[in-house]
Amino acid sequence: MAKLYFRHGTVGSAKTLNLLAVAHNYRQQGKKIILMKPDLDTRFGKERIKSRAGLEMDADALISDETSLRGIDYSGISCILVDEVQFMSAKVIEELRRIALDYDIPVLCYGLRTDFKSRLFEGSQRLLELADSIEEVKATCHYCNRKSIMNLKHVNGLATNEGPSVELGCEEKYYPTCYKCYRRELDKARIARMQTTTCGCKH
């Protein structure tokens, strides 16, 4: 039976590069695949899936909360690859689970586990509950050599854990960090903001 895979990692862990390499290998062998991505991810263009290393491909299907995956033709498909899966709804994840089962097609999902507030994304939570295989794509902390497990957001050069959970951005906004550096940077930013508020100047 084909499996549902969840391959998660922090920002900068080469998840999309991994996905595109798998897609390239399938296509090099003459096999048909379907590349999916959430329609809200427009950072590189609506249909474009692009890694930070520069490798890119066009998505075959753009998925929203209202998309029915049952309307897609899966004949002759060898694999389904899903980028930025954390932005998918629980309903979409459940459909991917059924597709792997009913059509006997492996479904490989890549994405973040948690947001910059350290909370699980909806899609990631459902995958942790339903996936046959859960793998971590590892990366090192932006500030030290420990393994990164957090996604640290920056606004105007200062770390923050405020704002909406879904806020698109690349390496200029989000850093991969270990938990120790994550807390340290948030504490430093909090102190800097307090000083700015108190004396009206920037430190």
Give tens-digit pLDDT for 98-139. Answer: 999 999 999 999 999 999 999 999 999 999 999 999 999 999
> Based on the structure, what is the number of domains in the chain?
1
Three-class SS of residue 36?
Answer: strand
The one catalytic residue among 47, 56, 66, 84: 84
Integer CA distances (angstroms), 11 to 85, 91, 127, in order? 13, 24, 18
Burial class of residue 29 (count of CB atoms within 10 Å of its CB; 0-12, 13-18, 19+): exposed
Closest CA to 2 of 108, 104, 103, 93: 104
Residues 144, 181: contact at Cβ < 8 Å?
Answer: yes
Query: CA angle, 63 as apex, 33 and 99 as ends, to 5°?
Result: 55
How far is 92 from 67, CA to CA, in rounded Å?
Answer: 8
Could you tell me the pLDDT band of residue 203, with boundaries at 50, 70 and 90? very low
Q: What is the pLDDT of residues 139-195, one digit of tens each?
A: 999 999 999 999 999 988 899 988 777 665 555 688 999 999 999 999 999 888 787
Integer CA distances (angstroms), 36 to 5, 87, 148, in order? 14, 12, 26
Residue carrying structure tokens 């039976």: 1
Is 84 annotated in the active site? yes
Q: What are φ and ψ of residue 14, in 5° steps?
A: 70, 35
Domain that holds residue 180: 4-199
- Relative to beta strand 48-50, strand 107-111 is unpaired
- The CATH number for 96's domain is 3.40.50.300
Mean pLDDT of 17-28: 95
How far is 45 from 58, CA to CA, in rounded Å?
Answer: 9
